[in-house]
Amino acid sequence: MNMKKWLAATLMCSALVMGGCGGQGQSGEQKVDKVYRVAMNAEFAPFESLDAQNNVEGFDVDLMNAMAAAGNFKVEYKHQPWDSLFAALGNGDVDILASAITITDERKQSMSFTDPYYKITQVILVPQGKNIKNVDDLKKANKVGVITGQTGDFVISKMLGKDSAKIARFDTLPLVIKEMESGGLDAVVTDSAVVGNYLKHNANKGFTVVEAPDFTEENYGFAVRKNDEETLKMLNDSLKKVRESGEYEKIESKYFAK
């Protein structure tokens, strides 16, 4: 390449770098709008799952999209394993976690949560032919299925002992459900709304739900890095707008119609 062509190419590259996305600033430079990276484990329907084209969908996705519209910010989604979510947030690989995450005092030590956006409790899903009528019956069960690192795991670990051979841990909801359907579990303990969604689409399985007054109510929240007050305020303000506009109720009724 001769000198004239090299200079022309260099000037063109410089122009492209200066001309990113967004509107013009006062100095004539392009303003680049920040896109918030939202991570989730999309294997927890109806809150988050993958459609036939492997795009994320669900209550959390619709709610976050509505919040982005109300708060005038942009988001992009990433599906990844549950056990990698918190490290990804702490390392700065993502900006927000939206994955039906229960707000707990322990988690608050390493991350910040928005105002609660959904309330649930743990319930017991029992397959046909298994004699589980209450929480105490879980102590007599051969195998109780939970999802590793989720609240059901914490509850059963406290009840039976963290290293109990009666606890069968699985990485995702579909895996623990599949094991129960094949007869390998006496019960599964997980979030009430997820169990309700499963039964809605599998009424012919003959499974039943045992509600447990011993299990306390829980609240889901969107998580951001510890002390990321700017993002936290943005999310809380937009969540409030979505609630006040009535959009939250529309989204809720889509997924949790009585």
Give the confidence band of 257 by pLDDT, cuts at 50, 70, 90: low
pLDDT, tens only, 184-203:
999 999 999 999 999 988 88
Model pLDDT, residue 33: 76
pTM of the shown model: 0.78
- Please name the CATH architecture into which domain 120-217 falls: 3-Layer(aba) Sandwich (3.40)
On the 0-12 / 13-18 / 19+ scale of CB atoms within 10 A, 87 is exposed
Q: Which of 14, 19, 44 is nearest to 30 (CA)?
A: 19
Indicate where the chain has its CATH 3.40.190.10 domain(s): 35-117+221-256, 120-217
Q: What is the mean pLDDT of residues 11-27?
A: 39
The pLDDT tens digits for 114-172 are 999 999 999 999 999 999 999 999 999 999 999 999 999 999 999 999 999 999 999 99
pLDDT band at residue 18, thresholds of 50, 70 and 90?
A: very low
CA 34, CA 86: separation in Å to the nearest integer?
21
Q: Which pLDDT belongs to residue 50?
A: 96
CATH number of 35-117+221-256: 3.40.190.10
Beta strands in the chain (DSSP E): 35-40, 49-50, 56-57, 74-79, 96-97, 111-113, 118-120, 122-126, 144-147, 167-170, 187-191, 208-211, 218-220, 223-225
